[in-house]
Amino acid sequence: MSEESVITLNLVGFMCPIPVHETRRAFQSATSGTEIFVLCDDPETLHDIPALCNRMGLQLLGVEEEAGEYGFRIRK
């Protein structure tokens, strides 16, 4: 999937439970095959976002960390 077709969900500055809630909401309305890059700075998301992916049957394609920000590449 090309970079242009990946949706970015910038949740920097929001603490739990907002990142999980907004990620869930974004995927509930997304079609199959949609990729979303979720950007957060709450360290709790390192546990919470993968758990959400498991519960919702989403594919966690990768996790990256840079300067205290965490990026999750997820596909429905």
Tell me: the pLDDT tens digits for 14-44?
Answer: 999 999 999 999 999 899 999 999 999 999 9
Per-residue model confidence (pLDDT) at position 4: 59
Q: In what order do the strands lie in the sheet with 69-75?
A: 7-10, 35-40, 69-75, 59-66
Task: Please write the tens of the pLDDT for every residue from 54-71.
Answer: 999 999 999 999 999 999
Domain ranges of the chain: 3-75
Letter for the amino acid at 15?
Answer: M
Cβ within 8 Å of residue 29, ≥6 positions away: none
Tokens coding 63: 């996790």
pLDDT at residue 75 greater than cutoff 80: yes
Q: Work out the mean pLDDT of the chain and round it to a whole number.
A: 94
pTM: 0.92
Per-residue model confidence (pLDDT) at position 5: 81
Homologous superfamily in CATH for domain 3-75: TusA-like domain (3.30.110.40)
Interval 40-55 mean pLDDT? 97
Q: Given CA atoms 61, 57, 1, 9 in this order, what sign does their dihedral have?
A: negative
Residue with tokens 């949706």: 7
